[in-house]
Amino acid sequence: MESPPQAQLAQKAVHISFPDGTRHEFPEGMTARKALTQVMGSLPSEVFAVKLDGTPRDLDTPLQNDGSLEPVTFDSEEGKEVYRHSSTHVMAQAVKDCFPTVNLTIGPAIEEGFFYDFAFERPFTPEDLEQIEKRAHEIIQSDFRIKRIEMSKEEALQLFKEKGEAYKVELIEGFEDQIVSMYQQGDFIDLCRGPHVGSTGQIHALKLLSSAGAYWRGDERNPMLQRIYGTSFPSQKALDQHLTKLEEIKRRDHRKLGKELDLFSIQDETGPGLILWHPKGALVRLLIENFWREQHIKNGYELVYSPHVARLDLWKTSGHVDYYRENMFAPMTVESSEYQLKPMNCPFHIMVYKSHLRSYRDLPIRYGELGTVYRYERSGVLHGLMRVRGFTQDDAHLFCRPDQLATEVSRVLEFTTMMLRTFDFTDFEMFLSTRPEKAVGSLDQWDQATLALESALKAGKFDYRLDPGEGVFYGPKIDVKIRDALGRSWQCSTVQIDFNNPERFGLTYIGEDGKTHQPIMIHRALMGSIERFFGILVEHFAGAFPTWLAPVQARVLPISEKQRDYGISMVNQLVQAGCRAESDLRNEKVGLKIRESEKAKVPYMLVVGEREAQANTVSVRKRNGKSLGEMSVTEVVKLIRHDDPPMVPEGSSHLE
């Protein structure tokens, strides 16, 4: 047999680009680890994975084709996910070592941590978590190499059947791929796509945080599992800082503060996910809503009201029955007709638009409503004010001509940032969400709508990121996320373009040419829901609302019974001047009254004794302990009014 030419025997080379713009040649099959080491001289210890052509991979992944290579560290989002998913495996191994009868299920990385769900006969106790964490640290010290293993689906099924891991078997049976990947460290092996760090010793600081019940696959019809939450960082210092932040989050928890400040409650007799607003909370809500209404009227919106129920046919026409059914409550039958609790306000605003013949001169039309909607949320995901079943959307729907679309979106974005800044949120992230798999409307309509949103973002010089496939079923959207005082990100505002509903409902206007045309509809919310926004505000301000939002702006504290009548007269004067004031007339020491007023987050405490009564003044003390000295009632009113924007210039802050 003739020998092949020498050129055919030569090993194939691959050409790899690096972040610094250089391009290097390596033998085919060389690992990413070796390639990085060659280029960098030595591999820094903080590098524990790579991105190969933009996709996270293990360091030992072989280079098979030309492409790009980038080292991954904890500083990137991909790095955090790899690091914490590897930490999950360390924890799972520790649980299995401590409790061999446990069955493994799934354990993903999540924002700022990770969790793993275990099938176990009882909940884990704090003592169990201590034992598991101790074993996890021993696994880290052992520095087990973490190896990727691939085998056929049949082999994987056999392996996990022998191990008695029924949940893993169920997962594998649902796989379409015939090759299954898993990772091994020591004698522990788990089903996983990866990637992972190279060894358990690269996990430097790990802490288990809590445990809770969770249903398999999130379905309450399935068995209850035991979930353990944890977190990990590359250094103990970073972990300690995070734990301090978690303590601050607990201190600011809106559920805890809501009870302490008597703002709201959720009671079993009423039903889960349904909020009872107490007088102080209702007053803060009223102030927010009044500001919302005033600003919408100033910005060219017309306010409407809509009912809480409608015929089910309305939701069939809108497409909600087809695309949103799982989030809607069951219909009710009234006089042989089916009615639906509204999950959205948009069909009602559409019907208001349809109530008249519209001209091109009438557009744009902007309808705004603080409309209460009802959505079915599983009991396991309900969370205080943040996830509820009945909530009020600060909703608006705009109807415009195609030539007005970009301008209207720009106006909405400017309005959104102004409103959010008023409530002390100045750090925004914007996301442009594109067509999802399950969508209605033509590709041309989607392209036109997406282009309009992108043009508005660019015109406003907003930084934004693409969020592919995350649009709603009827159109693309812009989501605005805010960062609170603790740096947490919250999704509140959204701007959505809709060609679909105007077509479904047959919306028209008479154009300049005398012919009928179809308007474009914009769905828009600034705060998202009043309930959730209120919860975010409570945590952002730690319950210490800015003076203009505080349910009680000033509390008069007489030192003794002799100043009782004078204290009452001070409160009356403040109330007459439009301030929200009350008095503490109890026969208690003034020090106790001050401490309780500070705990109640009252912005100003007005102490009155014999001297103040004679001088017709009050001694003013702020809730942060700072004394402002003696003032007249007129000066106190000016002080309170000085803190009463509610319009806030960019970059200013209500935070004390």
Residues recognised as catalytic: 346, 375, 393, 395, 397, 477, 523
- DSSP-derived letter for residue 213 is E
Are 558 and 613 within 8 A, CB to CB?
Answer: no
H runs (alpha helix) in 204-253: 236-252
3-state secondary structure of 131: helix
How many Cβ atoms are within 10 Å of 492's Cβ, its own excluded? 23
Q: Are strands 554-558 and 520-529 parallel, antiparallel or unpaired?
A: unpaired
C-alpha angle 283-421-577 in degrees, rounded to nearest 5: 40
Could you give the CA distance from residue 72 to residue 636 in angstroms, rounded to a whole number?
Answer: 57
What is the dihedral sign for C-alpha 140, 144, 146, 151? negative
Burial of 399 (0-12, 13-18, 19+ CB in 10 A): buried
**DSSP-assigned beta bridge partners for residue 395:** 369, 525
Burial of 172 (0-12, 13-18, 19+ CB in 10 A): buried
Could you give the CA distance from residue 430 to residue 419 in angstroms, rounded to a whole number?
Answer: 15
C-alpha 369: how far from chain center = 23
For every residue of 494-556, which 3-state class applies, written as one string? Answer: EEEEECHHHHHCCCCEECCCCCEECCEEEEEEEEEEHHHHHHHHHHHCCCCCCCCCCCCCEEE
Backbone angles phi and psi of 364, in degrees to 5? -80, 150
Backbone angles phi and psi of 493, in degrees to 5? -85, 150
Backbone angles phi and psi of 611, in degrees to 5? -65, -45
Nearest to 41 by CA among 71, 68, 5, 12: 71
Contacts of range 53-61, beta carbons closer than 8 Å, 24 or more positions apart: 56/81, 56/82, 56/195, 57/32, 57/194, 57/195, 58/32, 58/148, 58/194, 58/195, 58/196, 58/198, 59/31, 59/32, 59/33, 59/198, 60/31, 60/32, 60/33, 60/148, 60/198, 61/31, 61/32, 61/195
Could you give the CA distance from residue 486 to residue 252 in angstroms, rounded to a whole number?
Answer: 10
Q: What is the token pair recorded at 456?
A: 């508005």
